[in-house]
Amino acid sequence: MSASSNGILLPRRGPSPVEAHRRRVETRVMASRVVVVLAVLGLVSAVAHGLRRVFSPVADLVPGLTEATARPTLLLVSIALLITARGLRKGHRLSWVLALGVLALSAVLHLLKGVDVFETLVLLAALVWLASRWSAFPVLPTRRAVRRAAWVTGLSTAGLAGAVAIVATLVPEHSGRARAEELASIVHPVSFALTLVFVVTMLWALTSPRDAVRLSPADHDKEREHARRVVERHGGGTLDYFALRDDKDWFFVADSVVAFSVRGGVCLVSPDPIGPADERELVWAEFLSMASSNGWSVAVVAASADWLPVYEASGLHVVYFGDEAVVDCPTFTLAGSAHKSLRQAVNRVERAGYTTTFHDPATLDADLRTAISEMAEESRRGEDERGFSMTLSRLFDPADTGLMLSVTRSAEGRVDAFCQWVPAAAVDGWSLDVMRRRLDTDDIPNGLVDTTIVHTVTELVRRGERGLGLNFAVMREVLESDDSASRLDQVTRPLLQRLSRGTQMETLGKFNDKFEPTWVPRYVVLDSAELIATQAVVLAGAEGVTEIPVIGRFLGAVGTAR
């Protein structure tokens, strides 16, 4: 709705903000793909002898070339167009200007070489269409990128001049014409290589995404506390508290906040934006506009079903990611044959003298805090805490008040396991942040973490609370379903099952099943097809998949190959 001058609400005219963003993205995708086609045709023509004039529209951009110079020049132009296509996809104004120049020059050359009316009209139509979509390409080069391009230009010019001087001193004296021909045979390949490096490096630098603004530690903490107040007012989902991770930044619109992190030009968002429901389209449109102005692609990690209509309306693509386990504490029971193994584990741990107590981490006494910190450091697998979307990745921050620790100690008082929980009002309970068990001794009974969770369920029932969010099972529905309606699922399931053996993809699903949870589907929301591979690699790194066996080795090999 929109307001008229007399205060009466009128129906909104034109597309909504998210629809307008989707149209801008569609313009970028179309322009980028057309330029990619032109560039690929040019590359094929440069490699395939005899096809330059027949197969390549790009050839008309470099008329009058000799046979010796046509192919390398065509190769150079085509590679430059490929990088221009990259910039068009990310909304760079410079790439838009270059694409307009290419279209205009090609149209003029078609007229000059013999009045090719049809080709000229097609090119002019494309030129007018692209020129009218100028608002879809707002990203300007940063000062840092311009300085880098200037350095590249200077170094390339100096390198070419130096190469010519060196060759001139090495080539023996001959007659003037013979010496010139010999110099040319050496200088041309060198100059072409330097020119190619110069063009690629300069265009890449000028059309690269902007870096995220780095705040001072004090300013970052100030924004985190602002985000905390929004989470306290409007949050409550099982992932909402994780918006306060230290490696995230925050974008504020009205009473809402979007938590995000920019990695390699990919803007990862998690959790879903937090705020009043009636601000959803507004906050998402404003956030996409900000990300777009920086040349970032956007991906949402562990999105909830409630937000999918907004994401899809903005032109993003939804992919099933897995399921989050949420235990309904009042109905949970250890009775029955289905819970025999879990019941036996709890009895075994209790007979060994273990007890579980519950604490607010902010008010923990110093000795217990030290014991938990030492055990957590010893038991952590990998250099960093895993998980961008479902863990806080810190302990005992003074600003984190209102959290809960379930601490399980041996009969001698040694801390052998603990779980930290963050508040989740939407399920009237808590959500798992981190769980640890001691690994540096052999006298630990099996089932220690299971017992800690069971005692936590009992404690929540005593308090009159209901929900307990546990781990996330990646691709659970695909891995466990036998009757999938999707043919793609039937094809990918055997591969996923093989990859999941011995990894968290398999073990977390089985672990959660013991508590008979309600499974809440979660999704990954990705950009267009040409960006999915990059976004997937960035997402895997953020979630710590590179430390998981099999998958981590595969991704590590890919990174090494690059």
Cα(392)–Cα(402) distance, integer angstroms:
14
Contact by Cβ (8 Å): 74, 52 = yes
Q: What is the pLDDT of residue 546?
A: 45
Q: What is the pLDDT of residue 46?
A: 65
Q: What is the pLDDT of residue 321?
A: 85
b/e burial code for range 146-173 (CB count within 10 A of at least 16 → b): eebbeebeeebeebbeebeeebeeebee
DSSP3 helix / strand / coil % (the chain, rounded to 5)? 55, 15, 25
**Helix spans in 394-503 (H):** 448-463, 476-480, 487-500
Backbone angles phi, psi at 110, to 5 degrees: -65, -35
Among 241, 225, 229, which residue's Cα sits nearest to residue 427?
A: 241
Q: What is the pLDDT of residue 30?
A: 87
Contact by Cβ (8 Å): 76, 19 = no
Cα(309)–Cα(272) distance, integer angstroms:
12
Among 493, 477, 546, 458, which residue's Cα sits nearest to residue 325?
A: 477
Q: What is the pLDDT of residue 541?
A: 77
Contact by Cβ (8 Å): 460, 422 = no
Please report the domains of the chain, with CATH numbers, ordered by start residue.
Answer: 17-206 (no CATH), 212-321 (3.40.630), 324-490+504-522 (3.40.630.30)
Q: What is the pLDDT of residue 188?
A: 63
**Helix spans in 207-299 (H):** 217-234, 280-293
CA distances from residue 29 to 193, 279, 344, 527 in whole angstroms, order as listed: 30, 28, 58, 11
pTM of the model: 0.76
Average pLDDT by stretches of 10, the chain with 562 residues = 39 68 84 82 66 53 52 73 83 85 73 63 82 85 70 66 62 53 60 69 72 86 95 94 94 95 90 94 92 88 94 90 92 89 93 95 92 83 61 90 95 94 95 90 88 96 95 69 52 50 59 89 85 79 54 34 29
Long-range contacts of 365-372 (CB under 8 A, 24+ apart): 368/407, 368/415, 369/396, 371/414, 371/415, 372/405, 372/407, 372/415, 372/418
**3-state secondary structure at position 307:** helix
Q: What is the pLDDT of residue 123?
A: 73
Q: What is the pLDDT of residue 403?
A: 96
Give the number of residues written for the chain: 562
Cα(126)–Cα(391) distance, integer angstroms:
48
**Could you count the other beta carbons within 10 Å of the beta carbon of residue 84?**
27
Measured between alpha carbons, how far apart are the two ends of the chain, in Å?
A: 50
Q: What is the pLDDT of residue 521?
A: 92
CA distances from residue 480 to 202, 490, 500 in whole angstroms, order as listed: 50, 11, 12
Q: What is the pLDDT of residue 48?
A: 64
